[in-house]
Structure 1
Amino acid sequence: MNEVKVFNPKDVTVIYDGMVITGYADGSMVKAEKNEDNMIPHVGVLGEVSVAINANNTGKVTISLANTSPFIKILADKARANIIAPLSVVNMNKYGVNVGGTQAWVTKVPDVNIGKEVESQDIEFFVADYSVD
């Protein structure tokens, strides 16, 4: 019999500068990605393949907060102050992947979305030493 795999979003925590971020919007909570590929291929005119190891280990993490989250203003203040701090996405689910780094910052003051209903606001972090565990 196949094992039923369970995912619980309550078992995912985002921590920036020692703060546990709360107030996520409906839908995707976190998106994390490395900025460039690990290796850069080169194919010569005769089809010979070489590869260069890419030393760029930067990445970005985007979180989607509801516009009612108190962390929109807190993270906007961090962006204005150019704060560089640790960022961790801790996924405690059985098959969870953790991402983050010790040097991250909010790339810009978050956009403002105001409408009839609670809106989603994305906040992007640049991670200078991006890692996936």
Structure 2
Amino acid sequence: MVNVYDPNNVSVIVDNIFVTGFAEGTMVSASKDEENFQTKTSAKGEVSVAKTNNPLGTVTITLSADSPHQRRLTQIANTGKMVPCWVNVSAPIKEKKGGSQAMIKKPADAEYSDEVGDREFEIQVFDYTDS
């Protein structure tokens, strides 16, 4: 069986708004901030494992400078509003990443040139889940 990836099957929802106007290339990335456990090995080869209980994750959204949602994300960043942030993939494999409590770290940096630029928003998710 052949699975076909289509970026139209990826949706990004911030503050209950379906974000559009992504830049070329990587639209969005999502990751847990730390590994689930850490290990140590003694001089004699005995292994200890410590579970990491850090629930933090990061979602990074890359928009085109002319995205209709660039201004709204900037407003959320400037107010420090706590918002839900989800990345959903509907096919070929269903995935849902993000959380119900997140904040945009800062407004996107801006560059101006002879091409339409990108605006990257980094979102800290305080209850990150990956399913």
Q: Which amino acid aligns with 1:126?
A: Q
The amino acid of 1:129's aligned partner reads D
2:30 aligns to what? 32
Percent identical pairs in the alignment equals: 36
Structure 2: runs of 5 or more not aligned: none
> Of residues 101, 107, 112 in structure 2, which corresponds to 1:109?
107
Match of 1:84 in 2: 82
RMSD of aligned Cα (Å) = 1.0
Letter in 2 for 1:128: F
Residue 123 of structure 1 aligns with an amino acid whose one-letter code is: F
Q: What is the match of residue 6 of structure 2?
A: 8
Shift of 1:106: 0.4
* Partner of residue 55, structure 1: 53
Q: TM-score, normalised by structure 1?
A: 0.94
Out of 118, 127, 130, the residue aligned to residue 129 of structure 1 is 127
Match of 1:22 in 2: 20
Does the Cα contact within 8 Å between 2:110 and 2:118 map onto a contact in 1? no
Compute the displacement of 1:45 (Å): 2.3
1:85: how far off? 1.0
Segment drifting more, 89-98 vs 18-27: 89-98
- Following TM superposition, by how much is the alpha carbon of 1:95 offset from its aligned partner in structure 2, in angstroms? 1.1
Q: TM-score, normalised by structure 2?
A: 0.95
Letter in 1 for 2:71: K
Letter in 1 for 2:76: K
Unmatched tracts of structure 1, length 5 or more:
none
Which contiguous aligned blocks of 4+ residues in structure 1 show a shift greater than 6 angstroms? Answer: none
Q: Which amino acid aligns with 2:67?
A: S
Greater displacement, 50-59 / 95-104 = 95-104
- Residue equivalent to 1:72: 70
Q: What is the alpha-carbon distance in structure 2 between the residues aligned to residue 28 and residue 87 of structure 1?
A: 17
The CA deviation at 1:71 is 1.6
